Amino acid sequence: MAKKTSQATWGGRFTAGPAKLMMQFSESVSFDHRLALFDIAGSKAHSAMLAKVGLITAKERNVIHKGLDAIQKEIVAGKFEWDEAFEDVHMNIEQALTKRVPAAAKLHTARSRNDQVATDMRLWFKAAAQDLVDLFLEAQRALLSIARANPEVLIPGYTHLQRAQPVYLAHHLFAWMEMLDRDRDRFERMLSLANWCPLGSGAIAGTTLPIDREFTAKELGFVDSRGRPQVSQNSMDTVADRDLYIEFANACAMAGVHFSRIAEDLILWSSTEFNFVELPDAFCTGSSLMPQKKNPDSCELLRGKSARLQGNLHTLLTLTKGLPLTYNRDLQEDKPPVFDSYDQTTMCVEVLTGTIGGMTVKEDFCATAVSDPALLATDLADYLVENGVPFREAHHVVGAVVQLAEKNSVQLDQIPTVEVQKLHKAFKADWVQVFDVKRAMSKRRGTGMPGPTQLRKQFTRWGRRLKD
């Protein structure tokens, strides 16, 4: 008989248990306990399969399920005691179950912690991705609400942070909407990528026992749109693959980039120099010294979190790049960055929703900013093109008009017609009509442009896509 050791899960090979420091160094239950409910679901499905193929009895299955249900209640209630001596969430639950249900000693039949954790994580990814899909949808609806409340507001669009051309505020908001929509699509894709059942792969090479992987897959909801079970196709890849982790972290990192860019716009817009929007007090803070300050802290933190999310992605890429097949203990470190990416992305999108949903658009300041006729200098070049002037020549001529306006300290539309006609004969008496901003916007009719016709289409499109 093998000598009993302090490590019941693998101790038969060893004459002594691991050092206390080693136990502290190697434990993962401090962070993977959040997989507990998924682990229990996997164990119930696995034991149901074992009973189906005759490796345990129906009675044993029933008592195992009853014991797992009781443990689940304790976990949900916060009464379950996690013990790092059992390393991880899986063995903590199994050890607690075995103490209550002797038949639980058979639960690990035809299963390794390798395919067990792979299953738990895929179940977690499906739940986490769905949570984020729903949260991004709410953020998009907040954007749509602000756009609907301000359909006629015009602002300058910027390139190089210099005023470029006028756009409707809603058009700018819909640019953010496109970013968030791509993010939502990435998390929706995660639902499909995660939808393959690892159980049955074992530690590396499956099992000689007569298991039914397809049954387990169905029990856990790893099925396609027609209800057919989906099981992983290579046992080695199943336990070694971390593509899903990286894909998820990448989706979070990309979302972080978008949060940061949106936040930067909002920081600028809420500054005294722009003054396009007022951010909600609930998502701003003041200064400990300067009583007049209202700082856009939520937006600044959104910028900062982006770096953290990118760091998590790089951690996973670096962690996995040199590992041989199959499982290596290095992979224990794959969960903290994934869990952190989920937690931070969740908070970020909720904060973004609250910040956008509570902001107020300052129409007067927006109108003042967009009133500069110079914003329509390109339209003036287009006017010349419509009168037969090649664009490069038209561009040069309008540049001369701008120079003339600056020299005389007047706006473009205040230059006498006779003076612009000296610069080019294509200028007609109607040239100043170009500076009617509403007329200018109405001419931007092409798909994707910011004119009112296309904007109405975008309102309809987003309303349908968001079911709002």
Model confidence at 14, pLDDT cuts 50, 70, 90, reads confident
User: Is position 138 within any domain?
Assistant: yes
> Same structural domain for residues 126 and 224?
yes
160 is catalytic: yes
Residues 108-161: tens digit of each pLDDT:
999 999 999 999 999 999 999 999 999 999 999 999 999 999 999 999 999 999
> Same structural domain for residues 236 and 350?
yes
User: Is position 382 within any domain?
Assistant: yes
User: Is position 73 within any domain?
Assistant: yes
> Same structural domain for residues 184 and 56?
no
> Same structural domain for residues 350 and 451?
no
For 90-110, what is the mean pLDDT? 96
Residues 205-244: tens digit of each pLDDT:
999 999 999 999 999 999 999 999 999 999 999 999 999 9
* Sign of the torsion angle spanned by Cα atoms 48, 50, 54, 60: negative
287 is catalytic: yes
Q: Which two tokens stand for residue 5?
A: 């050791």
Q: Is the pLDDT of residue 2 over 70?
A: no
CATH code for the domain in which residue 46 is found: 1.10.275.10
User: Is position 7 within any domain?
Assistant: no
Model confidence at 16, pLDDT cuts 50, 70, 90, reads confident
CA 226 to chain CA centroid, nearest Å: 28
* Sign of the torsion angle spanned by Cα atoms 348, 354, 357, 363: negative
pLDDT at 31: 96
> Same structural domain for residues 286 and 142?
yes
> Same structural domain for residues 226 and 94?
no
User: Is position 13 within any domain?
Assistant: no
Model confidence at 9, pLDDT cuts 50, 70, 90, reads low
Give long-range contacts, CB 8 A cutoff, 24+ apart: 73-80: 75/36, 75/37, 75/40, 76/37, 80/36
Q: Is the pLDDT of residue 189 over 90?
A: yes
For the chain, what percent of residues have pLDDT higher than 70? 97
Catalytic residue among 26, 271, 287, 442: 287
Catalytic residue among 160, 225, 288, 409: 160
> Same structural domain for residues 163 and 104?
no
Task: Tell which of 368, 387, 420 closes a domain.
Answer: 368
pLDDT at 4: 44
Task: Tell which of 315, 339, 368 closes a domain.
Answer: 368
Q: Is the pLDDT of residue 360 over 50?
A: yes
> Same structural domain for residues 152 and 243?
yes
| Residue 155: closest CA among 296, 294, 275, 271 | 275
> What is the per-residue burial (b if ≥16 Cβ within 10 Å, else e) of 52-68?
beebbeeebbebbbebb
pTM, entire model: 0.94
For residue 30, what are the domain limits?
A: 18-109
Task: Tell which of 54, 81, 109 closes a domain.
Answer: 109
Query: How many domains are there within the chain?
Result: 3
CATH code for the domain in which residue 363 is found: 1.20.200.10
> Same structural domain for residues 43 and 192?
no
Residues 238-288: tens digit of each pLDDT:
999 999 999 999 999 999 999 999 999 999 999 999 999 999 999 999 988
φ/ψ of 437, rounded to 5, equals: -65, -40
> Same structural domain for residues 138 and 232?
yes
pLDDT at 158: 97
> Same structural domain for residues 205 and 169?
yes
For 307-321, what is the mean pLDDT? 98
User: Is position 329 within any domain?
Assistant: yes
> Same structural domain for residues 36 and 164?
no
Model confidence at 6, pLDDT cuts 50, 70, 90, reads very low
User: Is position 11 within any domain?
Assistant: no
User: Is position 35 within any domain?
Assistant: yes
Round to whole Å and give the CA distance between 132 and 164. 35
